[in-house]
Structure 1
C-alpha cells in the first residue's frame, strides 16, 4: 500500500466493512449533497485500493465516483475527503505526498524506458523461412497477430 493510499484510508470510518472482493464499504457521505432526501444508511459507498497505487470510490446509491491514479488528487476526491472530515491541511499534505510520489514514479519509469535490451543472435533451423516468404496459413496469421500484440 502506498503512502497516499494509507493517508486516504485513515479517513474511512471505523465501522467500514471489508468484502472478499477487496471493497471497503461504509455509508456514503455524498448522497445528501447530490440531492438525495436521506443519507445513506445501508453502506453503499465503497473504496477500492489497488496494488498499483490507484484508489477508487463508488457509491451504489447516488452514483458518486472518483478515481486517483498518480499525481494530483482530483477535485471529487478532495470533496469526498472533506465530507469524511479531512481538514484542509491534511488534504494538502496528501496532495503534496501524491505529487512527490508521482515525480518519483515518473523518474523511475523514464530511467527504465531508456534502457535498451541487447538481443542475442540465435541460429534458426534450416527449415526456417523469412516472414515475407511464408504462406498465409492460419498458424502464420496467428503468429503475426501475436508479434503485433507484443509490439516486437
Structure 2
C-alpha cells in the first residue's frame, strides 16, 4: 500500500474511533443525567463538585463500569501511533455486544430501563448505532 493510502486509511480509522468515543460519551452523559435525578430523589441533592466522586464510588452507578471501560479502551487505542482493522473491528464488536441482548444483565437491564425512561438516551443510542455501522464499513 502506498504511503499516502496508508495515511488516509489511518486517518479514516482515527476519525471512526473518535466518532465512536464521542457517541459513547453522549450515551454515558445522558444515562448519568437520568440516574442522577433518580439518585437525588432517593438521597437528596448532590453538589456539582461532589457528583463525580459519587458516580465513581457509589454502588448505585457501578452498572456503568462496562461503558466507562469501553471508553477508556478507545482512549488507549487513540493514543496508539497506528490503528488496525482488527482493533477497529474489535471495538465495534465490543460496543455491539455491550448494547446487545447478550450483554451483562446488570448493564443491559438498567440500560433498557434508561431507553424507556429518557428520550435523550434513545437519541444518543441511535447515533451510537449509526457510528458503529460506519466504523464497520471502514474495515
TM range, normalised to the smaller chain?
A: 0.3 to 0.5
Q: TM-score, normalised by structure 1?
A: 0.35
Instruction: Kindly name which structure, 1 or 2, has the bigger radius of gyration based on alpha carbons.
Output: 1
Q: TM-score, normalised by structure 2?
A: 0.38
| Bigger proportion of residues as strand | 1
Higher relative contact order (CA 8 A, sep 6+): 2
